[in-house]
Amino acid sequence: MLVILTEEESMEITLREILRRLGVVEFQIITFQGVGDLEASLTTKIKAWRDPHARFLVIRDNDNGNCEARKKRLSEMIRAAGGTKPAKIRLVMQELEAWFLADPEALENAGYLKPGSRPALLRDPENHQRPVDALRKLDPAYQKGLGARRIAPYLDPDRNTAASFHATIQAIRDLTAA
């Protein structure tokens, strides 16, 4: 079973759609109330997990932080939990909305873009300091949970250009292949 630990509801909504598209049926997503809650509970959750076949994926936004330092900290937390269970860590660059910006066709299908329009804010979405602000330029009423519900069903792993999206897809495939 794949167990995904993530910091927010909008990522859970998005992951459920991605997992459905990838044909993953045995999974559980544990959603925390932000990064602080995720990091405070991570070691305890993994240590307490009773399924010996569980494989863990920890996903959090990078939020313009130091990727290596964040991954190192999360790796140490996983090791503190016993470290024998298969686990991967993925950081979203910089936040979930970059994945949405990296798939203009999904934005069109969800009603955030006019067909064929490709505003400059879609270029290099993972380098936006705050991708959510870019989405709010497309729709000032954009909200994370609602946006995920509208956009995630249209995300296409073959079309999305975000490297962190592809790294996450690969991690899911690796963890569910064994």
Q: Please answer whether residues 146 and 111 qualify as being in contact, where contact means their C-beta atoms are separated by less than 8 angstroms.
A: no
Q: How far apart are CA 99 and CA 126, in angstroms?
A: 8
Name the percent of the chain in helix, strand, coil, to the closest 5: 50, 15, 35
Q: How far apart are CA 170 and CA 150, in angstroms?
A: 24
pTM of the model as a whole: 0.95
Provide the edge-to-edge strand list for the sheet that holds 2-6: 27-31, 2-6, 55-61, 87-92
Structure tokens belonging to residue 42: 């991570």
* Span 108-128, pLDDT tens digits: 999 999 999 999 989 999 999
Structure tokens belonging to residue 143: 């909200």
Task: Return per-residue pLDDT of the chain as tens, 178 residues.
Answer: 999 999 999 999 999 999 999 999 999 999 999 999 999 999 999 999 999 999 999 999 999 999 999 999 999 999 999 877 899 999 999 999 999 999 999 999 999 999 999 999 899 999 999 999 999 999 999 999 999 999 999 999 999 999 999 999 999 999 999 6
Q: Please answer whether residues 79 and 26 qualify as being in contact, where contact means their C-beta atoms are separated by less than 8 angstroms.
A: no
pLDDT recorded at residue 87: 95
pLDDT recorded at residue 178: 65
